[in-house]
Amino acid sequence: MTLNQEQAGVLGDIFGLSADEQKWLQVVPYKGTLPTAVPTDPLIYRWYEIVSVYGTTIKELIHEEFGDGIMSAIDFSMDIQRQADPKGDRVNVVLSGKFLPYRTY
């Protein structure tokens, strides 16, 4: 959600944000669209690559475990944590979405 200048100011006061930091609260976030068909940001591209390479496998594993349906992106939560590793810290991402079976009419 994007805040207007007044709302950003209120949160800025609460959290001690500078005027520049408050401006970031007024920027429209990406919501289901990126500026290019294939992401150019390296981190976002890696997510794109994960889905491109493993998406069909993830889909089949979900269908095998739950039956035909989808994972909700609305009733959804995500947890991101640093995982220490001697070869270099790892990013541990857990996605949790409600399973929604396909409806038959």
All structural domains of the chain with their residue ranges: 1-31, 34-67, 68-105
Q: Quick check: helix, strand or coil at residue 104? A: coil
With a cut of 80, say whether residue 30 has pLDDT above it: no
CA atoms of 30 and 44, how far apart (whole Å): 11
Residue 104 pLDDT:
78
Amino acid in position 26: Q
Q: Are 48 and 30 in contact (CB under 8 A)?
A: no
Q: What separation in angstroms does the CA of 96 have from each of 61, 68, 99?
A: 15, 17, 9
Residue 15's pLDDT band, with cuts at 50, 70 and 90, is very high
CA atoms of 19 and 9, how far apart (whole Å): 8
**pTM (2 d.p.):** 0.64
How many CB atoms lie under 10 A from the CB of residue 8? 19
Q: Quick check: helix, strand or coil at residue 30? A: coil
- For residue range 69-100, list pLDDT tens digits in order: 999 999 999 999 999 999 999 999 999 999 99
Q: Identify the CATH class of 68-105.
A: alpha beta
Share of the chain above pLDDT 90, in %: 80
- Mean pLDDT of all residues belonging to the chain: 92
Residue 32 pLDDT:
72
Residue 36 pLDDT:
82
Q: Give the catalytic positions in this structure.
A: 46, 49, 72
